[in-house]
Amino acid sequence: MQKKIIRREKALTAFPAMHPLLQQIYAARGIISADELSYELPCLLPFTDLLNIEQAVQLLFQSLINNENILIVGDFDADGATSTALAVRALRSFGARNVGYLVPNRFTEGYGLSEELVKIAKKRQPDLIITVDNGISNHAGVIAAKALGIKVLITDHHLPGDTLPPADVIVNPNQPFDQFASKNIAGVGVIFYVMLALRRYLVAQNWFQQQNRPEPLMSRFLDLVALGTVADVVQLDRNNRLLIHQGLKRIRAGHAIPGIIALLEMANRIPAKIVASDLGFIVGPRLNAAGRLEDMSLGIECLLCDDLLKAREIAQQLDQLNDERRLIEQEMQTQALQFLKKCEPALKQLPRGLCLFDPDWHQGVIGILASRIKDRYHRPVIAFALANEEELKGSARSIKGIHIRDVLSMIYAKWPNLIGKFGGHAMAAGLTIPRAAFENFSKAFNEIVSAQLKESDLEQCLISDGELVAQDLNLTVAEMIRAGGPWGQAFEEPLFDGTFAILEQRLVGGKHLKMTLALQELILDAIAFNIDLTNWPNYRAEYVKIAYRMDVNEFRGKRQIQLIIEHLEAN
């Protein structure tokens, strides 16, 4: 699909001591005060703003006093894995002696604290279940746990339904009447805040002195918080940026847990030089591979491991799973694109809300598939795989302007027989539907989406921070921008555009285009990943118009600027 490059309007700047380019970048992202760029720990939002935080602390304190059996119930993605590891590590450091975890297998138990998972949890004889990154939509599971006499503390960040499950305590900044300002916090951020509040209370009660234990610093868990927050692709408001900044600071200083170090090593990343995108594109996918293809317990064990050699062994297994995931995804994507290719001559006739299903697709990879198809055709997409003979499991991804969970809620309200369980965010959601209802659900999904989307919404646009002059295309500026983050969702890494002369172009890795470009007398290295092989390499093109990001490439000790091309067209 052709992309349109739109340049941001110039915004008023208010940081005279800063490089003019960085001033403009921040101003375009709505930063109006230098205070918004201060990421020191005292600027962290207070845990006291979270609804029910005091009740959660009391519930946990009683569990510690009574030496209760605590079971953490996590999720099978990177946010869930980091949340689980953080909860286990923190509670053990506080003196809890009976702390374990349980993560549902996506292929057998499904998402969250389900009734099926409670049956498995019962064998562990827990006194208290703590959910992390799930629970807010698991009414039946909570009821089942309570019927067995198990207390339930829900910590979650997903949007609640019309009613809340009957847990003993719920901590979720998105539940009604909660005053916590960061509604975009990840699940790992929520459990971090709960543990932060518990530690504060334990200090006030002289707990650590009585137990003859050192007072653990909560900053030691920020590498996990940073990883989970970036990997879950939540919006980077100031509080999330602060958490990521502090976590990256800890990793760069050599204080990361062995599991994160080992996962970085698998991709030849140097911890001292990483940025947020390394967590999102390097560590996160390797961690997620366990939950997508097998069991996220492998990923959690990597994050709980305190022995670097053992962590490296687990990281190697995760790396192999990620390679397998890539192959499965590529095959599924090829199948989906072959089907959609037939529709390309009449692209405007494609459904505005697109549903895809193949009985051979792997349900652990449909989320990535939906994201890839969404990016290519710029419309909301749901990819389905078989859950069992009677049901399909779907993973939805959306575009700006369509709140995907609200769409699913509207379908449920209008056609309740078409959809089973569902939940999620504005941009991503999961659901189940009856297998026999696929065609009717697809029509209903398209109907709801079509009513909300205009034709112009389907036009894929790249928002550029403008054209750079040759004097700004240098290593100093590239490193300044690299250090100016953390960049991510809703706080996008700067994107620029311009026209360059092509000096050289060649394929590397079979699908990536390596280019040498020129702007006036300046010679630049550039690369475009996963290019359309039907259009590139284009040896007839002398000039190319590109949208690009500036990166720093290091090879054999030499650092130089490299342009990462997001879009290119012969000019």
Q: Give the pLDDT means over successive 10-residue stretches in the chain (571 positions).
A: 80 78 92 90 97 98 97 93 98 96 82 91 97 94 97 95 94 97 97 98 96 95 98 94 98 96 94 94 90 86 96 95 87 80 61 92 88 90 93 93 91 93 83 95 95 85 94 95 93 96 94 95 95 90 96 85 95 83
Q: What is the pLDDT of residue 159?
A: 87
The CA distance from 357 to 474, in Å, is 47
- Calculate Rg over the CA atoms of the chain: 24
What is the CATH code for 43-319? 3.90.1640.30
The CA distance from 536 to 119, in Å, is 55
What is the CATH code for 9-33+462-570? 2.40.50.460
| Ramachandran angles phi, psi of 344, nearest 5° | -60, -35
Q: What is the pLDDT of residue 347?
A: 46
Going from N- to C-terminal start, the domains of the chain cover 9-33+462-570, 43-319, 343-458
**CB-neighbour burial class of residue 539 (10 A; exposed 0-12, middle 13-18, buried 19+):** exposed
Q: What is the pLDDT of residue 492?
A: 94
Q: Do residues 299 and 105 lie in contact, with contact meaning Cβ atoms separated by under 8 Å?
A: no
| Ramachandran angles phi, psi of 267, nearest 5° | -110, 15
What tokens were used for 135? Answer: 């629970």
The CA distance from 443 to 423, in Å, is 20
Q: Strand 391-397 and strand 381-386: pairing?
A: antiparallel
The CA distance from 339 to 343, in Å, is 8
Q: What is the pLDDT of residue 345?
A: 56
Neighbours of 190 (CB within 10 A): 25
Contacts of 286 (CB under 8 A, 6+ apart): 263, 266, 267, 315, 318, 319, 321, 322
Query: If DSSP codes are grouped into helix, strand and coil, which group holds residue 17?
Result: coil
Nearest to 74 by CA among 295, 371, 285: 295
Burial 337-362 (b: 16+ CB within 10 A, else e): eeebeeeeeeeeeebbbbbbbbeebb
Candidate CATH numbers 3.10.310.30, 3.30.565.10, 3.40.50.11720, 3.30.428.10; the one for domain 343-458: 3.10.310.30
Cα 357 to the center of its chain, rounded Å: 24
Going through 120-195 in order, the beta strands assigned E by DSSP cover: 128-132, 151-155, 169-171
The CA distance from 47 to 417, in Å, is 41
What separation in angstroms does the CA of 366 have from each of 144, 356, 361, 392, 397? Answer: 30, 10, 7, 11, 10
